[in-house]
């Protein structure tokens, strides 16, 4: 048996008393949580820093790992999207898979134990199957044309079967409001309701997204023109993108809104009235990479939104590190209490994915993992202890 102690211990939901000791078995699995006065202090492996459960990366695209340093920074979402389309298949599949294996290893090293991963193909299966990380794959579907909803939905179910047939976890997810019709979102959300599984959508990553929905103007018209898509069927809604689509989601399905960079106070308020199971995913480093701006995290907290954190992909980030995301938030919003961010990086992500019985909280005899956060706020480093 081994005994671990640290300056502070965070359970996944709160800081525990400072005399908290974690008891590990010989393979360093957490088997008990006790108080220092129950044992001989000399037996304790004492660390300087904060012990937390393993991190839950709520939003990643393992498939884009080979695009590191490929797409220019600060171009805005439309040129970023065009860049991904242009480059994603320029490397042979073997090299794409090699990049995914490296990215998976990096996440393990960074103390990540579970990932919500967006996939458009089955190319990530071998990496996920061989990994110690728990992956929930969101098979991502794209079709703004309502007439294509049912065929795209059927194809998505087929692709999801490739994952499920090898015992990987997964569900379906619409890509974004500007690329998925309400008909498609309804099919997906109903499927997730029936299967008791979560879903996800990129939300309000740019101002252009709201412009497109409100008035059918702005940069997205350039995107559709460049990829040769006519969108006569799309009529503006006079509402923000989020408020235009939120009622298509089943209100009892755990639904991840990713980015939320241009969500207004009213968007937060109204969408939360219409849907009680929304989770708001912060990917600050990707936001700075693509749009060079950040969501109003203070307002998200003020309105009691369920926050989770994601790294997004190596196409829009220099690493896949949850602690780097936390550092970016701490630097830009120094007043946000650390426990809120630590809970977003651990328990909330696990709860969203429906795996909080095994992950996200320091509970004996689970797969929670143990991290040590060292250094000072804004310059934290993470070490995987178990």
State the residues that interact with Zn ion by CB under 5 A.
Answer: 312
C-beta of 269: minimal distance to Zn ion in Å? Answer: 25
Q: Which is nearer to Zn ion, 312 or 361 (CB)?
A: 312
Bridge partners (DSSP) listed for residue 35: 20
Sign of the torsion angle spanned by Cα atoms 122, 75, 319, 107: negative
Q: Which is nearer to Zn ion, 209 or 312 (CB)?
A: 312
Instruction: Report which of 157, 62, 79 is spatially closest to residue 116, judged by C-alpha positions.
Output: 62
Question: Cα dist. 28→4, 45, 107, 133, 369 in Å?
Answer: 10, 12, 19, 16, 9
C-beta of 203: minimal distance to Zn ion in Å? Answer: 10
Q: Which is nearer to Zn ion, 121 or 358 (CB)?
A: 121
Stated length of the chain: 386
C-beta of 118: minimal distance to Zn ion in Å? Answer: 6
With tokens 């998976």, the residue in question is 104
Inter-residue contact 373 to 52 (CB < 8 Å): yes
Q: Which is nearer to Zn ion, 8 or 171 (CB)?
A: 171
C-beta of 313: minimal distance to Zn ion in Å? Answer: 6
Sign of the torsion angle spanned by Cα atoms 208, 308, 287, 111: negative
- 278: helix, coil or strand? strand
Q: Which is nearer to Zn ion, 200 or 348 (CB)?
A: 200
Sheet of strand 199-203: strand arrangement: 199-203, 255-259, 278-282, 306-309
Q: Which is nearer to Zn ion, 107 or 372 (CB)?
A: 107
Burial, 231: exposed, middle or buried (Cβ in 10 Å; 0-12, 13-18, 19+)? middle
C-beta of 73: minimal distance to Zn ion in Å? Answer: 16
Q: Which residue is nearest to Zn ion (CB)?
A: 312
How many Cβ atoms sit within 10 Å of the Cβ of residue 318? 12
Q: Which is nearer to Zn ion, 104 or 312 (CB)?
A: 312
C-beta of 202: minimal distance to Zn ion in Å? Answer: 5
Instruction: Report which of 68, 70, 75, 79 is spatially closest to residue 222, judged by C-alpha positions.
Output: 79
C-beta of 59: minimal distance to Zn ion in Å? Answer: 6
């Amino acid at each position: 048996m081994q005994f671990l102690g640290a300056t502070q211990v965070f359970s996944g939901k709160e800081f525990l008393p400072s005399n908290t000791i974690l008891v590990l078995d010989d393979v360093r699995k957490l088997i008990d949580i006790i108080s220092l006065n129950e044992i001989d202090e000399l037996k304790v492996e004492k660390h300087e820093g904060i012990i937390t459960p393993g991190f839950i990366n709520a939003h990643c695209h393992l498939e884009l790992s080979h695009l590191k340093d490929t797409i220019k920074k600060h171009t805005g979402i439309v040129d970023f999207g065009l860049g991904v389309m242009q480059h994603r298949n320029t490397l042979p599949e073997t090299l794409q898979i090699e990049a995914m294996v490296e990215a998976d290893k990096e996440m393990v090293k960074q103390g990540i134990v579970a990932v919500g991963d967006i996939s458009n193909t089955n190319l990530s299966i071998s990496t996920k199957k061989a990994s110690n990380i728990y992956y929930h794959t969101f098979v991502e579907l794209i079709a703004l044309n309502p007439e294509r909803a049912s065929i795209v939905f059927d194809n998505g179910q087929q692709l999801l079967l490739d994952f499920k047939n090898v015992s990987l976890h997964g569900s379906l997810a619409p890509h974004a409001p500007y690329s998925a019709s309400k008909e498609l979102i309804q099919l997906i959300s109903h499927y997730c309701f029936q299967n008791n599984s979560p879903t996800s959508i990129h939300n309000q990553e740019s101002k252009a997204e709201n412009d497109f929905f409100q008035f059918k103007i702005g940069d997205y018209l350039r995107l559709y023109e460049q990829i040769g898509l006519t969108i006569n069927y799309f009529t503006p809604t006079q509402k923000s993108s989020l408020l235009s689509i939120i009622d298509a989601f089943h209100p009892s399905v755990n639904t991840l809104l990713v980015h939320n960079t241009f969500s207004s106070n009213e968007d937060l308020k109204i969408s939360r009235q219409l849907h009680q199971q929304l989770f708001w995913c912060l990917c600050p480093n990707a936001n700075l990479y693509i749009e060079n701006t950040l969501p109003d995290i203070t307002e998200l907290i003020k309105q009691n939104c369920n926050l989770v954190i994601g790294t997004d992909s190596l196409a829009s980030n220099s690493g896949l590190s949850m602690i780097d995301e936390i550092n970016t938030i701490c630097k830009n919003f120094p007043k946000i209490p650390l426990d809120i961010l630590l809970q977003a990086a651990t328990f909330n992500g696990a709860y969203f994915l429906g795996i909080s019985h095994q992950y996200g909280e320091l509970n004996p005899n689970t797969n929670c993992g143990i991290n040590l956060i060292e250094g000072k706020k804004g310059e934290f480093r993470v070490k995987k202890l178990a």
